Amino acid sequence: MIMDDISRQVANLPDHAPRGNPIITMKNVVVAYGDQVALWNINLDILEGEYLGIIGPNGSGKTTLFKVILGLKAMNNGSIQILGQSLHGDAGNLLKGASWKDKIAYVPQRFTIDRNFPARVWDIVRMGRAPSHKVFSRFTREDKEQVMRCLEVVGMENFSNRPIGHLSGGQQQKVLIAKALAKEPDILLLDEPTSALDFKIAQDLIDLLGRLHEKEKLTIIEINHNLRLLRDNCERLVILNKTIEWIGDPNDPKADEKINEIFFHQ
């Protein structure tokens, strides 16, 4: 057995999962809010180009895991390596590590956009082009073309002049995904992207993410409470309950057993 196959077995990777290098490596990560532990001893390799799903009960630390990756929440212990940069368990490092933030795009869990919010769809997506370290920057022709391309990718090109507050929740969700894509990220983090959407729009969005993953070879990490939707795209599934309870092929029956145990028999 060649080395690659051995390491794939250790990482519990299904045969169809991509053979990439780790793009994020978390070692013994512990995170607490005051004296309340939110994440305990997380050890996880996320591979370049993979589509990773995360499922877990409310309060199980899913969003906190994203905040750590985004450098928004300091670790109490452990280390994380992202795109070759290392961070350790202190807040000072979060600030110093700013350069990788432009490579990660994030679609947050909840958003409410005021009906009267004075921005057009175009302006929102264009914000994705502004590097995080520059408040005022000039937008080039390339930026403009990229904004339009991203609106086309999510099928919202005909809405570019609409005020964002006048769109439905599903349409706003698509605009926020276009904004994330406009950043041309290496890693896309999606925190419950379908939670506000009806069945049809949710399925359309999942199909869109699957196509994007295939075409752009983006590394995608998606938190979702809907296992069926996760199974559509994810190559590996993490079941999180403060710590990683299980990781493997989302279609493995053991995933159902574990989810049943955690959600219904605690």
Ligand X SMILES: Nc1ncnc2c1ncn2[C@@H]1O[C@H](COP(=O)(O)OP(=O)(O)OP(=O)(O)O)[C@@H](O)[C@H]1O
Query: Least distance in Å: CB of 44 to Mg ion?
Result: 17
| Position with the least CB separation from Mg ion | 63
Query: What SS3 state is found at 255?
Result: helix
The contact mask relative to Mg ion for 86-115 (x = CB under 5 A, - = no) is: -----------------------x------
Number of residues counted as binding Mg ion (CB under 5 A)? 3
Which of 25, 181, 38 minimizes the C-alpha distance to 88? 25
Q: Is 224 in the site for Mg ion (CB under 5 A)?
A: no
Report the chain's C-alpha Rg in angstroms.
19
Smallest distance from the beta carbon of 34 to ligand X, in angstroms?
A: 7
Site string for Mg ion, 47-86 (x = CB under 5 A): ---------------xx-----------------------
> x/- site string to ligand X, residues 28 to 67, per CB under 6 A?
-----x--x-x-----------------x-xxxxxxx---
Give least dist CB 262 to Mg ion, A: 16
How would you classify residue 194: left for phi > 0, otherwise alpha for psi between -120 and 50, otherwise beta? alpha
CA gap 77, 12 in Å, rounded:
25
Residue 92 near which of ligand X, Mg ion, none (CB within 5-8 Å, type-dependent): none
d(CA 218, CA 215): 8
Furthest-apart CA atoms within the chain: distance in Å = 61
- Least Å from the CB of residue 110 to ligand X: 8
Touching Mg ion, residues 160-189 (CB under 5 A): none
Q: 90-112 burial by CB neighbour count: b if 16+ within 10 A, else e?
A: eeebbeebeebbebbbbbeeeee
Instruction: Please list, in sequence order, all residues whose beta carbon lies within 8 angstroms of the beta carbon of residue 169, skipping any fewer than 6 positions away.
Output: 196, 197
Sheet holding 51-55, edge to edge: 104-107, 187-191, 219-223, 51-55, 236-241, 243-248
**Helix, strand, or coil here: 160?**
coil
Q: How far is the CB of 25 from ligand X (least distance, A)?
A: 20
C-beta of 94: minimal distance to ligand X in Å?
A: 15
Cβ proximity to Mg ion, 167 vs 240, nearer residue = 240
Residues found near ligand X in the complex (CB under 6 A) = 33, 36, 38, 56, 58-64, 109
